[in-house]
A and B are shown apart, each in its own frame.
Chain A
């Protein structure tokens, strides 16, 4: 391990820090108000104009061709400067990696520049009333319209964050109702002003009127707005969820900053019985940073994060919740007042739910990283069952002889 930053990286950090210190706006009104929305869009356009919006993208799409390390540095500096929430995040962090991987050149040219310039704002159309953790139960359909060369979308999406003011949605629709659950889904890119699309906003627990449900009634989408192959949507979507769970959505800078704020709060209001929790939050933020640095190293060497992103998601979401609970405990009675910590606490409650509930993440970790048996019943177990019989025949000491071997390579 070498944790030194290069001279170029230090220069990048200095440039980012100076620009952010000079330009980060203070106290923007909440995103869900018209003036707040306008202010956040204006901020995104300022970022874009200075080419700080999407540093890791190619220059022709508004980026700086920055390395992943430089991206991490930018994120650290962004949170250090208390930069506003990124209303472009579902586009730039979730859809864009998928567009880079699966999009045609025409799709990339059409969508990426407008996305980075905050001209298009994207929301995610995964969940439905009957398809949450069980995402493959998606029932919204896309029916072929041969005459117009496209598809007619019908159904309902929900829990769509910022759906109320986004301009576009990326989502999964069932194109082959006869196919098995995960097959027969297709990934569509849909402008929300398409005739037949209706958006209804509804409030959230943290007070932001940011959720929306999106209704589709034979909304037409042309063939060229399919991302990836027809009926290949599950695979394409899983690439997005990898980004969503992993470091592109929640970089360590965010938690390093929160941990520092928690320390500041502790110094202002020391409460000895809470000291270890405060220190532990800081320790965990360091652990998350080191984990992601190692992950970035692996990605730079050609690895794909895959199921490992579920580890990220479990760790950062639980850390964020503990961190805010500790802050509220330090605040004592003042914790009931509306403020950054109480709002942050409410938002942290959503962390273990969005981007795939932590129960689903634990299943992914257990099955794909630890190699535990996957299905409930059926022949998937036959192999294990035979192994189990052999172990039982050996009696109690079978374990002693049998368990000296190495487990899944993951643990090695």
Chain B
């Protein structure tokens, strides 16, 4: 998986997701991932998927995050694919069809400019809409590979197909979206840290690599602490999700998932900031690759509930809420 991504998702492919890039490069890479089963990770084997559970999501999506491939990976793999059946599924499994989702209160739809299918929350149900049935207005975003569109008006329910109206399933889909996004963030953090370690080991000032200075070492050590202490929590949240069977286990799983998103978001934010500072001015040109990953991270930190929102959920879980 890591090797495939290294080979297929070069920084040029990430750039291809930006305006004026060639989106076919992104599509080709996605199809190659789909060919090894990635999009069907959570899809039952008898429907053509890998039949795995949430525990597989974290390493899988962390690798995709690390690659920077600009696709709605969490939305397609973690949220939508396991809810799909019938006509839409083969296209998703083949990588021909991108699915995105907005299950929160925002009217911004990530990859709403590219995805053929959009999952939206409609009261207590999740509905699947063809993009053509929605009024979507392209947005200019900090991360140019994000393809965000604004949902101008709420769609007619009859234009969408109900994927599920079972509260437990809706909740499960939400939790998987949060966890998948957390894993993407950890992967992005990993990539930024790797780039930075490589750079500060080469870049010389005052006659020595700047990575030999303690000011750089200490900043990067703290960044690594953030990543390394988030990662096991993501695995724990995935495990909790895979054990959901009743309201009590779902409640624990929700809290663990919120904890994971807080840690992953804060780690990614710290790494992005540290990576830019340790690079110095070269981080500030878009000719250098760092910004590609940092901007993806900045979009994912507030997505699926930002750290402040998830802290509030943890506060509720702990009975420390006064909201």
Given A283-B259, A385-B204, A388-B202: A276 and B311 interface contact (C-beta under 8 Å): yes
* Partner of B263 from A287, A294, A405 at Cβ < 8 Å: A287
Question: Cβ of A403: which chain B residues have Cβ within 8 Å of it?
Answer: 11, 195, 198-199, 289
Residue interface bits B276-305, CB-to-A below 8 A is 1, else 0: 000000100101110000000000000000
* Partner of B228 from A311, A359, A362, A412 at Cβ < 8 Å: A311
Q: How far is the CB of B16 from chain A (nearest CB, A)?
A: 14
Given A359-B214, A372-B200, A404-B11: A272 and B209 interface contact (C-beta under 8 Å): no
Tell me, yes or no, whether A366 is within 8 Å of chain B by CB: yes
In the complex the two chains form, what is the Cα distance from A282 to B233 in whole Å? 13
In the complex the two chains form, what is the Cα distance from A290 to B233 in whole Å? 6
Question: Cβ of A397: which chain B residues have Cβ within 8 Å of it?
Answer: 287
Question: Cβ of B263: which chain A residues have Cβ within 8 Å of it?
Answer: 283, 287
Given A3-B236, A314-B221, A373-B201: A287 and B287 interface contact (C-beta under 8 Å): no
Tell me, yes or no, whether A407 is within 8 Å of chain B by CB: yes
Grouping DSSP codes into helix (H, G, I), strand (E, B) and loop, the B interface class, with mixed when no group exceeds half, is helix
Q: How far is the CB of A398 from chain B (nearest CB, A)?
A: 9
* Partner of B232 from A290, A314, A372, A396 at Cβ < 8 Å: A290
Question: Closest A-chain residue to B259, C-beta based?
Answer: A283
A391 touches B320 (CB 8 A): no
Tell me, yes or no, whether A78 is within 8 Å of chain B by CB: no
For A, the interface residue count at a CB cutoff of 8 angstroms equals: 61
Question: Cβ of A278: which chain B residues have Cβ within 8 Å of it?
Answer: 315, 320
Given A2-B239, A287-B230, A384-B201: A365 and B224 interface contact (C-beta under 8 Å): yes
Residue interface bits B171-214, CB-to-A below 8 A is 1, else 0: 00000000000000000001001110111111110011101101
Size category of the binding interface on chain B: 35 or more
Tell me, yes or no, whether B218 is within 8 Å of chain A by CB: yes
* Partner of A400 from B2, B198, B288, B311 at Cβ < 8 Å: B288
Question: Cβ of B204: which chain A residues have Cβ within 8 Å of it?
Answer: 385, 388
In the complex the two chains form, what is the Cα distance from A384 to B202 in whole Å? 6
* Partner of A381 from B212, B228, B256 at Cβ < 8 Å: B212
Best-buried of B190, B221, B240 by chain A (most CB within 10 Å): B221
Q: How far is the CB of A291 from chain B (nearest CB, A)?
A: 5
Question: Cβ of B282: which chain A residues have Cβ within 8 Å of it?
Answer: 396, 399
* Partner of B203 from A283, A377, A388, A411 at Cβ < 8 Å: A388
A375 touches B212 (CB 8 A): yes
Given A276-B308, A396-B288: A385 and B209 interface contact (C-beta under 8 Å): yes
In the complex the two chains form, what is the Cα distance from A385 to B319 in whole Å? 56
Tell me, yes or no, whether B6 is within 8 Å of chain A by CB: yes
B209 touches A388 (CB 8 A): yes
Question: Cβ of B120: which chain A residues have Cβ within 8 Å of it?
Answer: none
Q: How far is the CB of B287 from chain A (nearest CB, A)?
A: 6
Question: Cβ of B256: which chain A residues have Cβ within 8 Å of it?
Answer: 286
In the complex the two chains form, what is the Cα distance from A311 to B229 in whole Å? 9
Tell me, yes or no, whether B164 is within 8 Å of chain A by CB: no
Question: Cβ of B289: which chain A residues have Cβ within 8 Å of it?
Answer: 399-400, 403-404
Question: Cβ of A396: which chain B residues have Cβ within 8 Å of it?
Answer: 282, 285, 287-288
B197 touches A287 (CB 8 A): no
Question: Closest B-chain residue to A366, C-beta based?
Answer: B217
In the complex the two chains form, what is the Cα distance from A280 to B209 in whole Å? 36
Tell me, yes or no, whether A361 is within 8 Å of chain B by CB: yes
Given A266-B320, A399-B288, A400-B289: A372 and B194 interface contact (C-beta under 8 Å): no
Question: Cβ of B240: which chain A residues have Cβ within 8 Å of it?
Answer: 3
Question: Cβ of A385: which chain B residues have Cβ within 8 Å of it?
Answer: 204, 209
Best-buried of A359, A361, A411 by chain B (most CB within 10 Å): A411
Cβ contacts A to B, 23 pairs, < 8 Å: A270-B320, A283-B259, A283-B262, A290-B232, A290-B233, A314-B225, A315-B229, A359-B214, A359-B218, A365-B217, A365-B225, A366-B216, A372-B201, A373-B212, A376-B212, A377-B207, A377-B208, A385-B209, A387-B201, A388-B204, A396-B288, A404-B10, A405-B198
**Given A3-B239, A372-B212, A411-B190, list of 14 further CB < 8 A pairs?**
A263-B319, A270-B322, A276-B315, A279-B318, A287-B233, A314-B221, A315-B229, A363-B217, A366-B211, A367-B217, A372-B200, A376-B212, A400-B11, A406-B2
